[in-house]
Structures are given as structure tokens and as C-alpha cells.
Amino acid sequence: MSDEETKPFLKSRMYESRYPSRGDIVMGKVKKIEGREAVVWLVEYKKSCKVVLSATVPPVRVLAEKRMEAFRVADVNVEERQIILDETPLSKAEMWAFEKLFNEAKFVHSVLFSVADDLHMNLKDAYKLCDWPSYEELKTLHRDENFLACKNVSFRKLLLDRIGLMKYNSWRVNDPSRLQTSSLKQIRDICYAIALARQAEAFFKKRGDLGKEEHLSIQHILNKGVDYGLVSRDYTLLELGTLVKILQRDGFILDTDCPLTYSLAGTPSASDNSCSTKDPIRVFEAPQIKVMTAGEEVPEEWMVEEMLAELDGGPLTFSLPMFPSYKTKSKKLDDIYKPTEDEFAAYKLAKDKGKPCKLDFHTMLLTGDGIDRYGDQYLECQDCLGDIDIGDRGYVRFAVKPNTVTEFVSFKNVCNHDDD
């Protein structure tokens, strides 16, 4: 739920400081771009500010309305209540560090928001009663003597209960460098190639084979699917398991050696340089990769448990059906996609009878899981539909129950590398 859409008493900045300091990195949502000036809403501070855009060609930074992204504070004038942001892009290292801190602060905000909402109290007062806690401090409030002495018994009890209930385990907090800094907006339906490339990137980065600022080729994966007749003219993948076996045999290559073009021509011949920028091309030898299918390699009732155990090692590729009701979801950051009872009953009945599923399937990168204020467990996924008005900056949530996950991809380390 966006703070700009909530009741006034549920609006609050995320930190005790009323204003950021010069040089701070902040999260801003671009509200309007007019000429060489952009109006930006500071998500953490609940204040509007501006970015003065240079007239250079190409531009220093391309902004898009409604997109949330990080900025560095160029100047702050508290007396005039004015904040100016720097348009210069952040380094990858700065982005990763900020992503961790911002997502931690956002989780603290969601916990306190839920308590303030249930008790019909001012959110800012809720922050004050627990002394503006950080992510780590929130987890240890049950041992904080000052908080335990809080005279607002109903607030104290509900907050401790909510801290025990709500969970958020994500690579966006654990190690953002394993993930792309933003969600790719696909032009064609190649969600399977995007997810597999992202999973392989995270795996090879963990082993130290791939630099943190290097990326694997999505086009290479698409080419392999085309070469072996696995991709139709509408880009639909016919068989994930076969594609995974091919990638294990042939490996992955860098995006710089085979940039994404969405071509369905397949792998270029040796004389064609359209998918190669240097020779020889560096190949990342794939580990043991296997598709785990519900009801085959893994019993359906254990599917999510097995997948989440794999998630401890890194983000992973998985697929599930897209039910008709998903199209009517509001796509807010805290919405959880879940089939209606009738939809799931019809889906399960057809599956039990061995009938082909008429639903479209979507493949995404699983990045985390959590439990919301209502006790509903969810899967957090990096989608490939862009980062503007799609969930939480391109990350969406799907319900764990009922289980609709049909398959996931498991990477096992079989080389002489430490997998710890």
C-alpha cells in the first residue's frame, strides 16, 4: 500500500531525522518531468523535491515518470524546506548497499504500519514509542528494557506479536549484488530465458567465477531453445527440462558476447559476428542443473518446502499458472496473487483427471519469501514486466497456499568450488 494513498494518520517518514543530509542516498518516485526539471517524491521522508536535469547529449540519466529509483542528495535547505537531488547515477556498489538498507527500512515500516492501522493510531507515534528502530533493533525489541517499559500496553503487545508473525527473507536484503539492480521489461515473452540467466548469474557470482558487475546472455539461452526446436514463433517455450539439459552441456556466456536482440534466428554461424564481440568467447561451465517437477521429482505437497530450501543457496527459476483473476489485481506492492477457490478447484480437478491445463504459465526468478500481517505466506519474485507500477519495483508476490508451483530449477555444485 502506497503511503500517498493511505489515511493521514498512517503517513510517516521512516527515520527519526526529518530531512536527509547532503550526500545521502534516498529512494525517490518520479512524479513529473517538465523540461529540465523533475519533481520527485522522497519515499522515506514523505517530501517532494526536485532534480535539475542537464542538457547533455546523451543525457546523464534517463528518468521515467512513476518509476522509483535511488538518488544522491545534492543539497538541503531546511529553512526553506528545499531538497535538491543529483541526477548522476549511483555506482553498483552504492546501489547494492542502499537496496539492503532501504528494503530493511521498508520491512520495519510495514510492521509498524500494520500495528498503527489495527489500533487506529498515528504511525509517527508508533515509531516514536519504539524509538525509531532499525531492522536489527526491531528484531530485538523483546529484550529492550525501554520498550518493555512502554505504558501503551496494547501497542507493546500487538507490536511484539506482529514482530513474531511477520517475516521477510529475501536476497534483496541478504545480498542484493546477486540480483540485477532493476527488473527487465521484456519486449517478447521470454520469461524463461530471463529467469535462467539471472539464476545462473547468481550461482556463478557466488562461486567467484562471474564478476559482480558482469551479466550472462539471455539471447544465448533463447538461441539454444531455437536451435533445438523448443521455442515457437510466438516465443513460447515448449519444454523447460530439455532446455536446461542443453545449457548444462553447452554452458552460459556473457551478455557482452551475445547481447539481447530477441532474434529467433538461433545461434549464429562461426562467420557471423552478430552475436560475438571477441574471440574466444568465455564459456561458464554449468553445474548439475535439473528441473524439479511437482508430482514427479518432488511430491506436490513438499514442492514449496523443497524450493525454499534451495532458495537458501541463491535465487532460482520457477513456474506457475496464471489464473484469470490475476489480471484484475491492483498490482500494489503488498498484494499477493492467489487463485480464487473456484479457480483452484477447477485447476486441481483437471489436473487430477490428467486433462491438459488451458492456463498460461509464467516463469520468474524467486528471490525470497515472507509472511504478511495477516499470516499469509508468500513467494517474492522478480518479474520481467518492468519496474513501473508492477508490484514493488518489479517484484511481485504469490501465495504459498494453495500451492500452484509446477516446477523449479535446481543448480547443484559439482565442481571443485566451495559452495558455502
Task: Count other Cβ atoms within 10 Å, centred on residue 152.
Answer: 14
Instruction: For residue 200, report the phi and psi dihedrals to the nearest 5 degrees.
Output: -65, -40
Phi, psi of 65 (to 5 degrees): -60, 140
Do residues 92 and 179 lie in contact, with contact meaning Cβ atoms separated by under 8 Å?
no
Q: Does the residue 419 lie in any domain?
A: no
Answer yes or no: do 82 and 147 share one domain: no
Question: In which residue ranges of the chain is pLDDT below 70?
Answer: 1-6, 269-279, 330-331, 414-420
Residue found under cell 529467469: 195
Q: The cell 518446502 sits on which residue? A: 305
Confirm whether 49 is domain-assigned: yes
How many CA atoms, within 13 angstroms, populate the side-chain half-sphere of residue 199?
A: 34
Neighbours of 170 (CB within 10 A): 21
110-116 contacts, C-beta under 8 A, 24 or more apart: 110/166, 110/334, 110/372, 110/373, 111/138, 111/159, 111/162, 111/163, 111/166, 111/373, 112/159, 113/1, 113/10, 114/162, 114/166, 114/373, 115/155, 115/158, 115/159, 115/162, 116/9, 116/10
Q: Which three cell numbers stand for residue 221?
A: 539461452
Per-residue pLDDT of 299-348, as tens digits, reads 999 999 999 999 999 999 999 999 999 988 766 778 999 999 999 999 99
Q: What is the largest CA-CA distance in the chain?
A: 77
Q: What is the DSSP letter of 367?
A: E
**Phi and psi at residue 320, to the nearest 5°:** -155, 160
| CATH code, domain with 65 | 2.40.50.140
Same domain, 205 and 64: no
Judge whether 118 and 154 are in contact, CB under 8 Å: no
With respect to residue 418, please indicate whether it lies within any of the assigned structural domains. Answer: no
Cell numbers placing 331: 498490482
Residue 88: count of CB within 10 angstroms of its CB: 12
Q: What is the DSSP letter of 413?
A: -
User: Do 47 and 128 reside in the same domain of the chain?
Assistant: no
Distance CA 209, CA 189 (A): 29
- How far, rounded to the nearest angstrom, does the alpha carbon of residue 132 sit from its chain's CA centroid? 26
For residue 415, the model assigns a pLDDT of: 47
For residues 316 and 182, give the distance between their C-alpha atoms in angstroms, rounded to a whole number. Answer: 17
Domain boundary among 90, 120, 141: 90
Which DSSP symbol is given to 233?
T
| DSSP structure class, residue 35 | T
Residues 403 and 342 occupy one common structural domain? yes
- pLDDT at site 279: 64
Boundaries of domain holding 219: 171-412
pLDDT at 417: 45
CB-based burial, 362-381: b 16+ in 10 Å, e otherwise? bbbbbbbbbebbeeebbbbb
Q: Are residues 238 and 112 in the same domain?
A: no
Residue 420 lies in a domain: no
Which residues are CB-neighbours of 73 under 8 A, at least 6 positions away? 20, 21, 22, 23, 24, 25, 26, 83, 84, 85, 86
Q: Are residues 185 and 150 in the same domain?
A: no
Structurally, the chain folds into a number of domains equal to 3
- The model's pLDDT over 9-68, given as tens digits with 9 standing for 90+, comes to 999 999 999 999 999 999 999 999 999 999 999 999 999 999 999 888 788 898 999 999
- What are the phi and psi torsion angles at 70 (to 5°)? -90, 145
How many residues in total does the chain contain?
A: 420
| 3 state DSSP class of 315 | coil
Antiparallel, parallel or unpaired: β 407-412 and 288-293: antiparallel
Decide which of 144, 165, 186 is a domain's last residue. 165
Taking a C-beta distance cutoff of 8 angstroms, is the pair 225, 231 a contact? yes
Residues 251 and 385 occupy one common structural domain: yes
Closest CA to 393 of 102, 148, 90: 102
Same-domain check for residues 296 and 384: yes
Question: Is the Cβ–Cβ distance between 216 and 201 less than 8 Å?
Answer: yes
Residues 6+ apart with CB under 8 A from 226: 264, 265, 266, 267
| CATH number assigned to the domain comprising residue 407 | 3.90.70.10
The upper half-sphere exposure of residue 45, i.e. CA atoms within 13 Å in the direction of its Cβ, equals: 22
Whether residue 397 contacts residue 335, with contact meaning beta carbons closer than 8 Å, is answered with: yes
Which phi and psi angles does 59 have, rounded to 5°? -65, 155
Mark whether 53 and 123 lie in a shared domain.
no
* pTM score: 0.93
